[in-house]
């Protein structure tokens, strides 16, 4: 299994569990979490990441995320996340790895999926 796939599996498990230890296993102590690439500042450090880690977002999100490309320093993940009865997003994520496989920087690029145009 690839480094990025292992990290993504851990991320989706932490997303579901919302347990701080699961989140800590993903990020270095000084990691940056950019919820949007144009944020003025990221959540910086594991404690800040835990403070803003999404709590239950309602219905269980369905995700279809896969590794697009990777090397030892960077993994790119693409796919979609659907919140039943709410919004669907198209995603591209950057995971910048520390040597131990945790993220030292994570950037989410996402957009709401367009609704089909009615004829």
Q: What is the CATH number of the domain that holds 31?
A: 3.10.450.50
Domain count across the chain: 1
Predicted TM-score (pTM) of this structure: 0.88
- Provide the token pair at 114: 């367009």
- Tell me if 117 is assigned to some domain: no
Q: What is the DSSP string of 60-108?
A: PPEEEEEEEEE-SSEEEEEEEEE-TTS-EEEEEEEEEEPTTSSEEEEEE
Per the domain annotation, does 118 fall within a domain? no
Residue 111's contacts (CB-CB under 8 Å, 6 or more residues apart) are: 89, 90
- CA-based radius of gyration for the chain: 14
What does each of the 119 residues of the chain score in pLDDT, given as a tens digit?
799 999 999 999 998 888 999 999 999 999 999 988 899 999 999 999 999 886 655 567 888 999 999 999 999 999 998 888 778 889 999 999 999 999 999 999 988 877 655 55
């Amino acid at each position: 299994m690839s480094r990025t796939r292992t990290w993504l599996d851990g991320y989706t498990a932490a997303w579901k569990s919302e347990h701080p230890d699961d989140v800590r296993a993903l990020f270095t102590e000084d990691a940056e979490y950019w919820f949007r690439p144009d944020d003025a500042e990221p959540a910086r450090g594991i404690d800040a990441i835990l403070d803003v880690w999404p709590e239950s977002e309602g219905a269980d999100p369905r995700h279809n995320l896969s590794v697009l490309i990777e090397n030892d320093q960077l993994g790119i993940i693409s796919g979609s996340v659907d919140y039943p009865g709410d919004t669907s997003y198209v995603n591209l994520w950057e995971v910048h790895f520390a040597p131990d496989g945790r993220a030292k920087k994570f950037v989410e690029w996402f957009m709401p999926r367009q609704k089909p145009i009615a004829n």
